[in-house]
Structure 1
Amino acid sequence: MKFKTLLASAAIALGLASGAFADGHEKTKVGFVYVGPVGDGGWTFTHDQARLAVEAEFGDAVETVFVESVAEGPDAERVLTQMALDGADLIFTTSFGYMDPTNNIAAKFPDVKFEHATGYKRLHPNVSTYSARFYEGRAVQGHIAGSMTESNIIGYIASYPIPEVIRGINSAYIHARKVNPDVEFKIIWAYTWFDPAKEADAAKVLIEQGADVILQHTDSTAPHAAAQEAGNVVTFGQASDMSAYAPFPRVSALLDEWGDYYIARTKAVMDGTWESVDTWHGIGDGMVGIGEITDAVPANVKEEALALKAAISEGSYHPFTGPIKKQDGSDWLAAGEVADDGTLAGMNFYVEGLTAEIPQ
């Protein structure tokens, strides 16, 4: 692990105190804690691109630092403590499992602002939470996947059984089944965000089970390589475009767009307007994107997918609109009823038609 720091010799040469301008005001120091390597090609890569966007926006007024591949647990507290001690004004903790460490360390450093991705706990006034409505992008993926499968079997590589991942599975399944009532989802839980070997093995098992479309909620490009080797198997980029595998097997992607949010929150710290808030944005707010839909997708399917994206973006359609039943057959949403954010945020059930069980 390493920190990206300003060279002390450069500061001395300029005759400045560390992190300060000639007029005496301090640079804003922004830290980022990553669960994977910045080169993962997916989740962490997109967060680091947003860090670079902060640097590009504010130039010499900011200093950014990051630590990559930080395990979710006690090691995260150690890293956060060191960042705070090193003078960070704002720290982004970019994985669900950093939720408790973020709040624990925030209590010890009340003057440092903390932003936690995908969590729901704001136990202190210096903690905010933010996430994206990834399920909106999963709906578009599901439409394409259900339209393109020939075996009627779609494989799904899932990371951890948390609400964010369960929402994604449900959304993709609902929209795949709308265009293909015979579709079946086979789900493998990898219990990792980033492990190319495990992700590749999961993809191969799903392909052996008949899946000709692979969806993933893990961060490496390994499933694309496995699909490419297998032949006629469709994949989708996760978090980033993963366009090295386009136009096939990767036919589109779910994009995480963090840059605007990171810039806005950094600016809020700089001008003293930062407040503790919950943020949950989607396609319409520009936090979720749909990667290029390649010509490997039939023209009519592409047109339908883009129309679905537009309807979600403008708010005329919600991916969880009834009638929808739960997996056990009980009623959930009546015809025309839209799921509330509270239920979605804590989603711990599958919708009707999914045959797998959610691990405990």
Structure 2
Amino acid sequence: MKKRMKRKASSLVLGTLAMIMLITGCSQPGNNSNSSANSPEPVSTENNSTMGTGGSAVGFIFVGTKDDYGYNQAAYLGSVAVEEANPDLKVLRAENVPETAEAERVMEQMIKDGAQIIFPTSYGHLEPALNVAKRHPDVVFYHQGGLKTANNLGTYFGTIWEPVYLAGIAAGKMSKSGKLGYIVSVPIPQVLLNVNAFTLGAQSVNPDVTTSVVFTGSWCDPGQQANATNSLIDGGVDVLSLHQDCMKTVIDTAERRGIMTVGYHADASSLAPNGWITGSVWNWPDLFVDMVKTAQEGSFKGSKYDGKFRGTLADDIVQIGSFGANVPADVVQFVQGKKDELLKGTLLPFAGPVKDQAGTVRINEGETPAVEQLEGSDYLVEGVIGSIPQ
């Protein structure tokens, strides 16, 4: 009798223990039987395949206006292509968004309005975008021109310095004085790289060419642009180029004063029927459409867009623009020939030796710097007149 009671008691204890273990096991995250107090924090199991999917809208923020004949206009045309390719997707746009916390507010509102994909298009929109990206890990951000990425933020840009180099060749061919002018915004690496590419291109056909550079400290300030344009013309330059978001003031002023121009970002040849030489332009439409499609399909992670994507002249993402009516046919043919060499890899714009303004070798003889190295440019090459603001 006592033995039977002991057996029942033992069975009851074992059953109770089994029940406790079952309940405890079900309450553990992931039902991990090997977990312990000293185990590391569990790895996030967030499904990256849903990132950027399911939204009813896509958002674009611009630092300027969509009709600036420049940077914002090029990006706007890309957004139009997205709209045309996705009739069921609402395209949200915000112009004149400053590179401040205001950009965060605009992006947050776009997310509330259904955007699961956002294009912050200005260089200074990067930090605000990174902040918003942290708060919304399910939203995909495509930042234009940035040098930082995040789990749900990739950057895209292009080797625009390739057509800038070609445009510099055209400028060197067209200039009679050998004095070129360049009106730029702020001394970020992309700006310095373009000034260098333009100058090296011009020097390849005229070693004595100089480029006088003026920093306005702004992406689009018509007053400062007009002052800079007149100052450079008064100083003897006969070809002007620029790295500004908007071009109209510079091109208009130069045209009135009979000075030739080289554009940037978008085709502004209509502004200068007499003085337009050529330009370097962005071709965003097909790229933007593919980027949206990639995110919508849940394929952002692991795609070519989840890091630093850089389109090239060979991709047709950056282009040499149209040539002006007063550019001789032999100059057009010469530049096109150099473009072919560049595409074949037989022309390397930044092949060393390359010296800075102080005569210090920055790229050694025999070296061909990678894109990442060029995007870190912090100097101006020999032949550039003007100092980098500190």
TM > 0.5: yes
Among residues 23, 30, 44, which one is paired with 2:72 in the alignment? 44
> How far has the Cα of 1:27 moved from its partner?
5.6
- Deviation of the 1:43 alpha carbon: 0.9
Please point out which of 282, 296, 301 is paired with 1:256: 282
Cα pair 1:195 1:220 within 8 Å, conserved: no
Question: Within the alignment, does 1:279 sit opposite 2:279 as a pair?
Answer: no
2:357 matches 1:330: no
Identity %: 34
Cα distance, 1:351 vs. partner? 1.7
The amino acid of 1:59's aligned partner reads: P
Measured against aligned partners, the alpha-carbon deviations of 1:156-181 in whole angstroms (never above 9, x if no partner) come to 00011000000000011111112112
Does residue 270 of structure 1 match 2:300? no
Counterpart of 1:102, as a letter, is: A
Q: Is the 8 Å Cα contact of residues 28 and 270 (structure 1) preserved in structure 2?
A: no
Give unpaired runs (5+ residues) of structure 1. Answer: 1-24
Tell me, yes or no, if the aligned pair for 2:211 and 2:383 is still in contact at 8 Å: no
2:200 corresponds to 1:169: no
2:98 paired residue among 71, 81, 97: 71
| 2:223 paired residue number | 197
1:58 matched to 2:86? The reply is yes
Give the corresponding residue for 1:317.
347
Give the superposed CA RMSD. Answer: 1.6
Find the counterpart in structure 2 of residue 151 from structure 1.
177
Letter in 2 for 1:194: C
Report the counterpart of residue 332 of structure 2 in structure 1: 302
- 2:238 corresponds to which residue? 212
Q: What is the DSSP-based 3-state SS (H/G/I as helix, E as strand, rest coil) of the residue aligned with 1:222?
A: helix
2: distance between equivalents of 1:330 and 1:189?
A: 23
Aligned to 2:61: 33
Give the match's secondary structure for 1:267.
helix
Q: How does 1:49-198 map to 2 (within 5 A)?
A: 49-60=77-88, 62-122=89-149, 124-198=150-224
For structure 2, the residue ranges without an aligned partner over 5 or more in a row are 1-52
Task: Tell me the amino acid that sits aligned with residue 72 of structure 1.
Answer: E
Q: Following TM superposition, by how much is the alpha carbon of 1:228 offset from its aligned partner in structure 2, in angstroms?
A: 1.4
The TM-score normalised by the length of structure 2 is: 0.82
SS in 2 for 1:179: coil
Q: Aligned partners of 2:385 and 2:214: how far apart in 1?
A: 13
Q: State the one-letter code of the partner of 2:238.
A: D
Larger mean CA deviation between 265-274 and 329-338 belongs to 329-338
Equivalent position SS for 1:170: helix
Deviation (angstroms), 1:150: 1.2
For residues 292 and 226 of structure 1, what CA distance do their matches in structure 2 show? 20
- Aligned amino acid, residue 54 of structure 1: V
**Is 2:385 the partner of 1:355?**
yes
Aligned residues, how many?
333
Do the aligned partners of 1:159 and 1:192 also contact (CA within 8 Å) in 2?
yes
Name the SS for the 2:352 alignment partner.
coil
Which stretches of structure 1, 4 residues or more, deviate above 6 A after TM superposition? none
Residue 258 (structure 1) shift: 1.0
Other-structure match for 1:222:
249
Paired AA for residue 170 in structure 1: N
Q: Which moved more, 1:63-72 or 1:288-297?
A: 288-297
Could you tell me how far apart the structure 2 residues matched to 1:69 and 1:53 are? Answer: 21
Distance 1:325 1:188 in 2: 20
1:135 aligned partner, one-letter code: W
> Is contact 2:55-2:117 (8 Å) kept?
no
Identify the structure with bigger relative contact order (alpha carbons < 8 Å, sequence gap 6+). Answer: 2
CA deviation digits over 1:54-91, x for unaligned, max 9?
Answer: 1112222x211010001111111111121122221100
- Separation in 2, partners of 1:170, 1:272: 40
Name the aligned partner's letter for residue 309 of structure 2.
T
Instruction: Determine helix, strand or coil for the equivalent of 1:30.
Output: strand
Matched AA of 2:128: P
Deviation at residue 28 of structure 1 after TM alignment: 4.1
Q: Tell me how far apart the structure 2 counterparts of residues 352 and 237 of structure 1 sit (CA, whole Å).
A: 22
Residues in 1 aligned to 2:348 and 2:121: alpha-carbon distance in whole angstroms: 26
Aligned mates of 2:124, 2:54 — CA distance in 1? 32
Residue 319 of structure 2 corresponds to 289
Partner of residue 370 from structure 2, selected from 329, 340, 344: 340
Name the SS of the counterpart of 1:289 in structure 2.
strand
